[in-house]
Structure 1
Amino acid sequence: MVVPPWLSVPPPGYGGLEQVVHGLVDTLVAHGNAVTLFGAGRQNGTAADFVSTVPDLQYDRLGESLPELAHLARVKHLVTAADFDVIHDHTTIGPLVAGRRAVPTVATVHGNPVGEYGAVLSDTDQGVGLVAISHAQRRANPELPWVGTVHNAMDVRDVPRKSAPGRGAVLWLARFSPDKGPDLAIRACRAAGLPLILAGKCNEPAERRYFTEVVEPLLDEDVTVVLNADREATLRLLVDARCLIMPIQWEEPFGMVMVEAMATGTPVVALRRGAVSELVLDGVTGLVRDRVEELPAALSEAVRIDPAACMAHAARNFSTERMALGYEEVYRRFALGAAAPVREPVPIAAR
């Protein structure tokens, strides 16, 4: 299992990829698989054997290509066919260099596979199989060499849960970016007459600039700001929230925060973009709308959603057990050389 060199697994706070890998690794080990995690730094919070390619986490260099390239070059020299059956790569550049490895590689695509990222993925080495995290993500670029679709997941047993519909503030939980629509969340809550908590990741230059230039001028007494909260704090915010608002302005390939919200019993109010309709059952675990103007009314209606239905949906569809079984099937087919790219239509909605 190869993760980027930026954060530990699990991460101390924001880090959706690392949180997903944590759950996947521990469940694979519980199933009897021998897993080695290749990462950076000195800390490993998983059940896997840990191999560090560099003593310090490279978060301060996030956005540069050389730290990840150096990390992958070191992984290549540490991996032999005698020791491993398959490599599961979660890095951005991994699909470009994986063909040089002595062991077959499946690579999970964690971003939106279009534009520059799509160009990188379209040059994936022959024999490297890509795994999508949603059917919506695959539809965005169906010509890539996909070999499977496995939803992200979390250990739903370890989260706090609400016992009744929340009556507190609406919660927005994301990185501060125009893609995530915090400005739209403020306007929607204000129109609905509801308080809002903006709990966001804000430690990269672009995030700080966006917060200062766009978000701060909109703030008033009805908005509470929580910056860079750790995981325990964000889970508590989710439990206490009336609902989670997701006014996204891009084709979100998954959106782990929606699963986290439903797992705690908190409904999701979101715009119909990317994988939203694949994760949220409209009218059952949240309210999915087509236009920003529809969000205030949906926020008012969210208290009608049954928390138990949210929790049951998350447990049934987005457990680490289900995710691990999905990846084990991909590994088996790929390691045997039988995982040809699959291009037939894929279903849209979660069951």
Structure 2
Amino acid sequence: MKVAILSSIAWRTPPRQYGPWEQVASYLTEGLVEKGIDVTLFATTDSVTKAKLKGTCTAPYSEDRDIDPKVAECLHISHLMESAAQFDLIHNHFDFLPLTYSKLIGTPMLTTIHGFSSPKILEVYQKYNASTHYASISNADRSDKLDYISTVYNGVDGKDFPFEMNPQDYLLFFGRIHPDKGTLEAIRIARQAGKVLLIAGLIQDDAYFEQKIQPCIDDRSVFYIGNVGSGERRTLLGKALALLHPIQFDEPFGLSVAESMFCGTPVIAYNRGSMCELISDGKTGFLVNTMDEAVQAVEKIGRIDRQECRQWAKAMFSKEKMVENYLNVYDQILSR
């Protein structure tokens, strides 16, 4: 079987810091290679992989402002599509744009829908619904206007997030600094609970950070660590008493939630989107609906068995399980 993985070029695959789509594409690519699958990764040419690597963009456009994103995306996608006949299957992790080629090539395409950035893009997915294949990353993130071949949870490489039995006495917010992710709510929860809060992640909304978050950073009870890389990421997650995830939107998955539980760190999350699929309430964290409930959950966090968090994450969200599930989907598509 010859598989082409189409990754995003917003960030490197795997990302140096932020880049969840690219991280999932990387884990899948390397996992398929380990299974002996002939894989070609289409990504930025500075990407790191054991698969064959092809690309037209030398650096991620989010890291090089001289690159025009639309031009780079057009060249990147067309580069794969013009060689589509070389592959048995194309696995698209690049959102809806590659779908516009799907009726022009003979190679079947699977698109993992990593979320809907806008209801308007549904029109594209609907147009190609009958002629291609869609996988969701959670049951919560499905549109009733589309058909899906499967739900495949994102996978994490457990070796990247070692188990930590002895946490320190701080709470962690890890994610995009954006109103959707609830950074300000995390600060308020930590303050009410009387805990130190460390904040790490990409500042995606500058005005929100400057007006709402920065005034709260006092380097005594609230710290901003920055947009950290993989080494700092695993340390911050592993040493945290709990991860605060007070999302203000229906999140499709939440990779940091799975990564946190791999480290043994429980998660306190607002019960929206996929959170009820990711977190075993009362066993690997707490699903809450209000700030008061979140504060109460912090007080109960000592009841959570960190070993159970790790075991749950390995059973549900391992790289190996994701790879096996996608191989089953590939077989379904190719047998049709």
- Quick check: TM above 0.5? yes
Once the two structures are TM-superposed, the CA of residue 180 in structure 1 deviates from its matched residue by 0.3
Task: Calculate the TM-score normalised by the size of structure 2.
Answer: 0.93
Give, in whole Å, the separation in 2 of the partners of 1:52 and 1:154. Answer: 25
Letter in 1 for 2:131: G
Match of 1:216 in 2: 214
Give runs of ≥4 in structure 1 deviating > 6 Å: none
**Counterpart mapping for 1:236-247 below 5 A:** 236-247=235-246
Give, in whole Å, the separation in 2 of the partners of 1:236 and 1:250. Answer: 27
Match of 1:75 in 2: 80
Letter in 2 for 1:146: Y
Match of 1:145 in 2: 147
SS at match of 1:100: coil
Q: 2:128 aligns with which of 121, 124, 147?
A: 124
Match of 1:345 in 2: none
SS at match of 2:60: coil
Deviations 1:62-113 (A, max 9, x none): 9944432231112111222xx2110000102222332222311000001137
Give, in whole Å, the separation in 2 of the partners of 1:336 and 1:265. Answer: 40
| 2:202 pairs with 1:201 | yes
Match of 1:87 in 2: 90
- Gaps of at least 5 residues in structure 2 are none
Q: Is the 8 A contact 1:53 1:75 kept in 2?
A: no
CA-atom RMSD in angstroms: 1.8
Q: Is the 8 A contact 1:167 1:303 kept in 2?
A: no
Once the two structures are TM-superposed, the CA of residue 55 in structure 1 deviates from its matched residue by 2.8
Match of 1:340 in 2: none
Q: 1:44 aligns with which of 24, 41, 47?
A: 47
Match of 2:23 in 1: 19
Give, in whole Å, the separation in 2 of the partners of 1:144 and 1:66. Answer: 29
Q: Is the 8 A contact 1:112 1:252 kept in 2?
A: no
| 2:311 pairs with 1:307 | no
Once the two structures are TM-superposed, the CA of residue 335 in structure 1 deviates from its matched residue by 1.9
Q: Is the 8 A contact 1:269 1:286 kept in 2?
A: yes
SS at match of 1:35: strand
Give, in whole Å, the separation in 2 of the partners of 1:321 and 1:4. Answer: 22
Once the two structures are TM-superposed, the CA of residue 27 in structure 1 deviates from its matched residue by 1.3
Q: 1:310 to 1:15 in 2, by over 3 A?
A: same
SS at match of 2:111: strand
**Counterpart mapping for 1:1-351 below 5 A:** 1-41=5-45, 43-59=46-62, 60=64, 64-80=69-85, 83-92=86-95, 93-112=97-116, 115-124=119-128, 126-138=130-142, 141-164=143-166, 166-202=167-203, 204=204, 207-220=205-218, 221-337=220-336
SS at match of 1:106: strand
Once the two structures are TM-superposed, the CA of residue 56 in structure 1 deviates from its matched residue by 3.1
Once the two structures are TM-superposed, the CA of residue 18 in structure 1 deviates from its matched residue by 1.4
Task: Calculate the TM-score normalised by the size of structure 1.
Answer: 0.89
Once the two structures are TM-superposed, the CA of residue 308 in structure 1 deviates from its matched residue by 0.2
Give, in whole Å, the separation in 2 of the partners of 1:167 and 1:44. Answer: 34
Once the two structures are TM-superposed, the CA of residue 297 in structure 1 deviates from its matched residue by 1.1
Q: Is the 8 A contact 1:96 1:125 kept in 2?
A: no
Q: 1:113 to 1:228 in 2, by over 3 A?
A: closer
Give, in whole Å, the separation in 2 of the partners of 1:225 and 1:158. Answer: 23
Q: Is the 8 A contact 1:40 1:58 kept in 2?
A: no
SS at match of 1:273: coil
Percentage identity across aligned positions?
32
Give, in whole Å, the separation in 2 of the partners of 1:63 and 1:241. Answer: 39
Deviations 1:235-274 (A, max 9, x none): 1001111100000000000001000000000000011000
Deviations 1:140-166 (A, max 9, x none): x122131111000111133222123x3
Which 10-residue stretch deviates more, 256-265 or 301-310?
A: 301-310
Q: Is the 8 A contact 2:81 2:101 kept in 1?
A: no
Q: 1:63 to 1:110 in 2, by over 3 A?
A: farther
Once the two structures are TM-superposed, the CA of residue 126 in structure 1 deviates from its matched residue by 4.0
Q: Is the 8 A contact 1:270 1:288 kept in 2?
A: yes
Letter in 1 for 2:30: D
Letter in 1 for 2:298: L
SS at match of 2:201: strand
Once the two structures are TM-superposed, the CA of residue 49 in structure 1 deviates from its matched residue by 0.6
Deviations 1:280-322 (A, max 9, x none): 0001000111222211111121122111000000111111111
Q: Is the 8 A contact 2:93 2:113 kept in 1?
A: yes
Give, in whole Å, the separation in 2 of the partners of 1:55 and 1:198. Answer: 31
Once the two structures are TM-superposed, the CA of residue 114 in structure 1 deviates from its matched residue by 5.4
